[in-house]
């Protein structure tokens, strides 16, 4: 028998057993015998997850039968518990050498050495574990591992029938609570909203797993792929996509997956193993989930949501359903809840009724988050596993500013929501009324308020919020959504649009901050222990100067006859800035030799994000035309505290005497050198923090557009010289933070913070 036909034969036998007579337990007992025989294994065991997080041994061939229903492991305990906890397979020639190995004497497994185990997954949740073992130190092949994963899909069908375990005894069937509860997560898109919970409809349950005709299944796959591509083309040509520049970039990257040859080949291989077209798509998706669980690459993890979206869409088309989910036809105000979501899925919903989105996973830089921000749809992500506690139709309130979702809100919570909404509307009107007023303190000190941007969709906000320019334009997004290096004319076109939108207002372009924790598909990188402090930004660009020269040429071409401001990120020492500036000078000389029209002026600045640069500050200010402080990275390096680690990100306060004293030293040095200094991290976008920064000498800010109104209102309410005098003695305090003092001071003086 050839190797390719063995998995297909096993699937047929299992299908026959499961469709035959006998109880669910009797059929499962036959199933483990068939699996062991086909895979030439002495042991095959099935563990099922109960509602108390207990993995119970439900059937075995090769272990002691008396252990069935009597023994098991907790999730996270032993190798079986490890597979269930992380949802990833294990393939071990010598299981006892693994640090998580736990010996269960009642099973008689001491004579077995090798072990291969895979999770049994139903509706995206682990419901059990399938294990094979051998007495020899056998290394199972990749083909055998994939075959076992395919078999686990078939077992999930038996579990889902309810004949083995009552569905209410599974973790996903727990009784829902009826009282008010709160989910806490992270803000992906700001806003306040209210509506009824609608679960983002999961993929249709796959009933037919085993193929009758492999050739026919391949034809079904190809027809569905063509139909899906037509849907995506229609979606991209829709009016609301065509007229929003950022959507085009996102959907071009998204659409690449639909044409990816490697993805299609994997699905075809799964069909060859004996699966139907729809089961093959699901099988490949499960394998991708397992691989993504191991990777530390944030870009790849974020793209998994796109692959989930495409896979589920493809399955629906194969089965004859519309590509859009039924729940996308909303009929009332809704808060949509999902594990993950792709950008196309979000746009399938009726915009009129989609009030907010809650994700179990995701990130603020994922495509769907960017689209949500562009459409002003509040979104909270990373709310954890508490979604089992809510039901479809539950009323909910989402407050993205604080990262909170209130399920089944009480009358008091609804009253608070209505009050908050009134306050937001009132404040929005006040910000709108002040947007054209100068940002000047009560004692006549002018403060410049600029905005951060990174997408074409951000540009209209210049006028909406009355920003004086773009103090930070992040150029990396265009590179992160492209599978290849963006062409020169594509880069030039983007930078031209930015400058055109700004008109006579200044724009500061930050050169590529890629690598490390912002990987791009076209540059291979090693797996780094500390990517935020790794090979990224200026370090990568100086090692790959062609990348920097390529980008600088696009910037110079876009800025012909206009002012160009460029700054370099992640500079750790003066020599790096000098080396980068020399590349700018060489590109300017090249422009001159080619007779091209160069920018009217070119100013080159530096970002202060690495504390070491502060000890060369005087020399740096002689070389740089301006300085920008990126507080996001600077503060995590300053405190040696990972800002993405929940245990440390709030441990140190940005309003500590150490931080404010450090920033005062930088501000004083810049003022002495006569060089502009800008705060462009998130710190400057919070009124209380902005108040402290003003007191230590900062006079120019760049922040997210929505933050400009509140900070402008603060500026127009304070007497800055008095604030500076009053705060100065507290910079020498030994306290953890000046936050309490600043809050009390603001309250006493009626400052809007």
Name the nearest CA neighbour of 519 among 483, 572, 569: 483
Name the nearest CA neighbour of 154 among 308, 269, 6, 46: 46
Q: How far apart, in Å, do the first and last CA atoms of the chain sit? A: 75
* Cβ–Cβ < 8 Å for 281, 192: no
Tell me whether residue 79 is exposed, middle or buried, using C-beta atoms within 10 angstroms of its C-beta: 0 to 12, 13 to 18, 19 or more. Answer: buried
User: What are the average pLDDT values for consecutive 10-residue runs of the chain, which has 753 residues?
Assistant: 65 79 84 91 92 89 93 93 90 91 86 91 83 90 85 80 58 54 86 89 71 90 89 63 51 71 86 89 81 57 70 87 60 88 76 90 72 81 73 88 88 85 80 88 96 83 91 84 78 93 95 75 71 84 92 95 96 97 95 90 96 96 97 88 66 91 96 96 90 97 89 95 95 92 94 89
CB atoms within 10 A of CB 634: 25
CB crowding 6-37: b at 16 or more within 10 Å, else e: bbbebbebbbebbeeeeebeebbbbbbbbbbe
From 200, 325, 606, 680, the catalytic residue: 680
Question: Can you say whether the dihedral through the CA atoms of 650, 654, 655, 659 is positive or negative?
Answer: positive
Helix (H, G, I), strand (E, B) or coil at 738: coil
pLDDT at 174: 40
Question: Can you say whether the dihedral through the CA atoms of 66, 67, 68, 69 is positive or negative?
Answer: positive
pLDDT at 252: 66
In degrees and rounded to multiples of 5, residue 82 shows phi and psi of -65, -45
CA–CA separation, 292 vs 203, rounded Å?
20
Class of domain 203-323: mainly alpha
* Cβ–Cβ < 8 Å for 519, 298: yes
The secondary structure element, H or E, covering residue 198 is strand 192-199
Q: What's the token pair of residue 685?
A: 């976008």
Tell me whether residue 248 is one of the annotated catalytic residues.
Answer: no
Tell me whether residue 411 is exposed, middle or buried, using C-beta atoms within 10 angstroms of its C-beta: 0 to 12, 13 to 18, 19 or more. Answer: exposed
Tell me whether residue 674 is exposed, middle or buried, using C-beta atoms within 10 angstroms of its C-beta: 0 to 12, 13 to 18, 19 or more. Answer: exposed
Please, which residues have CB within 8 angstroms of residue 593's CB and are 6 or more apart in sequence?
none
- Count CA within 13 A, CB hemisphere, residue 270: 29
CATH topology of 179-201+325-434 equal to that of 203-323? Answer: no
Give the start-to-end residue ranges of the domains of the chain.
5-173, 179-201+325-434, 203-323, 440-748
Tell me whether residue 680 is one of the annotated catalytic residues.
Answer: yes
pLDDT at 427: 76
pLDDT at 625: 97
pLDDT at 173: 44
Helix (H, G, I), strand (E, B) or coil at 259: coil
Q: Does domain 179-201+325-434 have CATH number 3.30.460.80?
A: no
Name the nearest CA neighbour of 506 among 440, 445, 451: 451
pLDDT at 414: 87
Beta strand ranges found along 504-625 (DSSP E): 507-510, 563-568, 601-608
pLDDT at 728: 93
The secondary structure element, H or E, covering residue 24 is helix 24-38
CA–CA separation, 383 vs 368, rounded Å?
16
Please, which residues have CB within 8 angstroms of residue 193's CB and are 6 or more apart in sequence?
333, 335, 355, 356, 378, 397, 398
From 44, 367, 606, 686, the catalytic residue: 367
- Count CA within 13 A, CB hemisphere, residue 541: 26
For 5-173, CATH number? 3.30.450.40
pLDDT at 457: 72
For 440-748, CATH number? 3.20.20.60
């Amino acid at each position: 028998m050839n190797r390719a036909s063995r998995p297909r034969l096993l699937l047929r036998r299992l299908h026959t057993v499961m469709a035959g007579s006998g109880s669910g337990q009797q059929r499962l007992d036959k199933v483990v015998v068939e699996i062991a025989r086909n895979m030439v294994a002495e042991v095959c065991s099935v563990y099922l997850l109960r509602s108390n997080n207990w993995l119970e041994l439900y059937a075995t061939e090769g272990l002691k039968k008396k252990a069935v229903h009597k023994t098991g492991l907790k999730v996270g305990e032993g190798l079986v518990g490890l597979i269930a906890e992380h949802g990833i397979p294990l393939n071990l020639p010598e299981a006892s050498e693994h640090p998580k190995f736990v010996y269960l004497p009642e099973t008689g497994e001491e004579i077995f050495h090798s072990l291969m185990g895979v999770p049994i997954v139903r509706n995206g949740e682990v419901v059990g574990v399938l294990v094979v073992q051998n007495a020899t130190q056998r290394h199972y092949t990749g083909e055998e591992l994939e075959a076992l994963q395919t078999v686990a899909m078939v077992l999930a069908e038996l579990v889902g029938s309810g004949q083995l375990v009552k569905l209410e005894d599974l973790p996903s069937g727990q009784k829902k609570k009826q009282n008010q509860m709160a989910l806490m997560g992270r803000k992906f898109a700001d806003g306040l909203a209210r509506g009824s919970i609608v679960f983002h409809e999961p993929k249709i349950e796959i009933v037919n797993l085993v193929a009758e005709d492999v050739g026919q299944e391949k034809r079904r796959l190809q027809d569905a792929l063509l139909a899906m591509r037509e849907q995506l083309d229609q979606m991209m040509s829709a009016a609301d996509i065509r007229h929003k520049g950022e959507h085009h970039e996102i959907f071009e990257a998204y659409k690449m997956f639909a044409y990816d040859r490697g993805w299609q080949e994997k699905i075809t291989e799964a069909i060859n193993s004996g699966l139907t077209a729809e089961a093959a798509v699901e099988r490949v998706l499960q394998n991708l989930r397992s691989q993504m669980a191991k990777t530390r690459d944030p870009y790849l993890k974020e793209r998994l949501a796109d692959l989930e979206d495409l896979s589920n869409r493809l399955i629906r088309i194969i089965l004859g359903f519309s590509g859009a989910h039924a729940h996308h036809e909303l009929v009332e105000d809704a808060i949509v809840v999902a594990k993950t979501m792709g950008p196309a899925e979000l746009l399938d919903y009726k915009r009129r009724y989609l009030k907010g989105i809650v994700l179990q996973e995701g990130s603020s830089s994922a495509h769907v988050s960017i689209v949500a921000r562009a459409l002003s749809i509040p979104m909270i992500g990373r709310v954890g596993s508490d979604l089992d506690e809510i039901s479809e139709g539950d009323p909910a309130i989402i407050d993205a500013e604080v990262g909170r979702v209130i399920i089944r809100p009480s009358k008091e919570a609804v009253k608070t929501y209505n009050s908050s909404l009134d306050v937001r509307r009132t404040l929005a009107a006040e910000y709108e009324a002040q947007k054209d007023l100068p940002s000047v303190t009560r004692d006549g000190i002018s403060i410049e308020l600029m905005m951060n941007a990174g997408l074409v969709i951000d540009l209209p906000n210049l006028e909406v919020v009355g920003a004086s320019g773009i103090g930070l334009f992040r150029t990396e997004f265009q590179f992160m959504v492209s599978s290849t290096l963006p062409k020169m004319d594509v880069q030039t076109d983007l930078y031209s649009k930015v400058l055109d939108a700004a008109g006579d207002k200044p724009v500061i372009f930050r050169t590529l901050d890629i690598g490390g924790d912002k990987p791009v598909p076209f540059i291979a990188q090693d797996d780094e222990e500390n990517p935020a402090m790794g090979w990224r930004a200026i370090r990568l660009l100086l090692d790959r100067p062609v990348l920097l020269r390529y980008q600088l040429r696009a910037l110079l071409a876009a800025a012909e006859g206009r002012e160009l401001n460029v700054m370099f990120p992640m500079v750790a020492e003066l020599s790096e800035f000098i080396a980068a500036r020399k590349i700018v000078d060489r590109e300017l000389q090249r422009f001159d030799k080619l007779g091209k029209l160069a920018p009217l002026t070119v100013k080159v600045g530096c970002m202060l994000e690495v504390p070491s640069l502060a000890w060369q500050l005087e020399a740096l200010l002689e070389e740089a035309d301006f300085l920008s402080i990126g507080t996001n990275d600077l503060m995590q390096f300053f405190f040696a505290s990972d800002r993405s680690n929940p245990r440390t990100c709030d441990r140190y306060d940005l309003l500590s005497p150490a931080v404010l004293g450090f920033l005062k030293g930088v501000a004083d040095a810049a003022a002495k050198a006569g060089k502009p200094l800008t705060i462009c991290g998130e710190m400057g976008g919070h009124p209380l923090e902005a108040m402290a920064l003003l007191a230590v000498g900062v006079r120019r800010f760049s922040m997210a557009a929505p933050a400009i109104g509140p900070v402008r209102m603060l500026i127009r309410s304070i007497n800055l010289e008095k604030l500076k005098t009053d705060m100065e003695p507290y910079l020498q305090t030994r306290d953890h933070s000046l936050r309490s003092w600043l809050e009390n001071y603001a309250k006493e003086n009626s400052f809007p913070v």
